[in-house]
Amino acid sequence: MGGYFDIPSKKEQLANLEAELNHPDIWQDIERSSQLSKEINTLKKELTNYSELESNISYINEFLSTITEQDQDSIEQLAKESASLTPKLEELEISSMLNNEYDSLDCYLEIHPGAGGTESCDWASMLKRMYLRFCEKNNYQYKILDEQKGEEAGIKSITIEISGSYAYGYLKCETGVHRLVRISPFDANARRHTSFASVMVTPKFAENIDIEIKDSDLKIDVYRSSGAGGQHVNTTDSAVRITHLPTKIVVTCQNERSQIQNKEQALKVLKSKLYQLELAKQAEKLESTKGQMLNIDFGSQIRNYILEPYTLVKDVRSNYETSQASQVLDGDIMPFIKSILKK
């Protein structure tokens, strides 16, 4: 059939990857061996899912040829068998849409509050929880690289590294401005407020990508970490902020215990951002690769979360909506992601 369903090609690819992983020298390169293991597991899962579906559909077709309209028990059994395949077929359909060169990569997810002050900082922290719950429910590993607390509540910014099968492919759909409408917990008069926060998702490229970063282009600041990590983290200038002067890109990291480790991690994030930017320039598709760089306020949102006077979450790109706002904020965002991929 070709494309995503080119099973012989996938089997050949799996054999080549397994041969490379079995080479005695591969474990000297921890990053490459880890990437190989992940690619092999993803391919095995795809091939297993396809094989099971193919077998089940063949069984249903054979069963269908042996029954008559009068055999109601068999018809009901066949209906149940067919219905059980629907979720698996949908998963295969979605997987076939994750065919971008970088969809299988891990990613960095950033959240920044916009118009709304303390309200938006609190909204950013709600989005943080939503994405962490999404990771937990979908077996993604995550690591908070940097988190800046708000002055009164919430967060000013956060950078999360997310690892797992097609992490970037799925979460790239979350790039954009998210709008919240609710009764403010910070308003003594209990008035309804609107808050905004932006989400940016960047693929985590391999460390050996060909991107030159000159020392003269970097402004490096160190400061005292404000996050968790014990007495050592909070009493030493271990946090690092790197500004890439030509592009004005700023990355920060305070998760590690030492300044050197934080600097190394921040440079990895910066390198991925610069590589993504270069790819976008080459393809002349900056908006589609990085998401539109819009003001974080009215009229720029990709999704609305309304908690008052009724509950509704609606994506303005696909028009998918649900009244189960509490479930969405608890991490059930896969239906929104799938609606975007299908669109």
CATH number for 3-97 (one of 1.10.10.10, 1.20.58.410, 3.40.718.10, 3.40.50.300): it is 1.20.58.410
Helix (H, G, I), strand (E, B) or coil at 226: coil
The boundaries of every CATH 1.20.58.410 domain in the chain are 3-97
- For 187-227, the pLDDT digits (tens) are 778 788 899 999 999 998 876 666 778 888 899 988 877 65
**Does the predicted TM-score (pTM) go above 0.75?**
no
Residue 230: how many other CB atoms lie within 10 Å: 9
Nearest 5 degrees, angle CA 250-CA 134-CA 318? 85
In sequence order, the 6+-apart residues with CB closer than 8 A to the CB of 55 are none
Q: Give the pLDDT score at 336.
A: 97
Residue 72: how many other CB atoms lie within 10 Å: 10
Q: Are 10 and 46 in contact (CB under 8 A)?
A: yes
Residue 309, preceding peptide bond in cis (omega within 30° of 0): yes
User: Distance between CA atoms of 238 and 230, rounded to whole angstroms?
Assistant: 12
The boundaries of every CATH 3.30.70.1660 domain in the chain are 102-343
Q: Flag residues of the chain having pLDDT under 70.
A: 1-5, 207-210, 226-236, 282-299
Which residues make beta-bridge pairs with 322?
313
Q: Give the pLDDT score at 226.
A: 67
For the domain made up of 102-343, the CATH class stated in words is alpha beta
- For 124-142, the pLDDT digits (tens) are 999 999 999 999 999 999 9
Q: Give the pLDDT score at 286.
A: 39
Q: Give the pLDDT score at 134.
A: 97
